[in-house]
Amino acid sequence: MVHLYYDSKTGNVQRFINKVIQITGWQAHKIEESLEIQESGHLVTYTTKLGSMPEKTKMFMDNHAEKIYSVTSSGNRNWGRNFGLAADKVSEDYDIPLAMKFELSGTMEDINQFIEIIKHQYNDSKRGSKKLDIA
Model pLDDT for residues 26-64, shown as the tens digit of each residue: 999 999 988 889 999 999 999 988 788 999 999 999 999
Which residues make Cβ contacts (< 8 Å) with residue 49, sequence separation at least 6?
Answer: none
Structural domains present in the chain: 3-122 (3.40.50.360)
Helix axes 85-94, 55-64, angle to 10 degrees: 30
The values of phi and psi at residue 112, to 5°, are: -65, -40
Average pLDDT over residues 10-37: 95
pTM: 0.88
Residue 124 has what pLDDT?
Answer: 47
Residue 122 has what pLDDT?
Answer: 55
Residue among 35, 33, 44, 41 at smallest CA distance from 8: 44
Asked whether the predicted pLDDT for residue 123 surpasses 90, the reply is: no
Model pLDDT for residues 63-89, shown as the tens digit of each residue: 999 999 999 999 999 888 899 999 999
Element (H, E) at 42: strand 41-46
Question: How does the average pLDDT of the chain come out, rounded?
Answer: 89
Q: Look up residue 39 and give its DSSP letter.
A: S
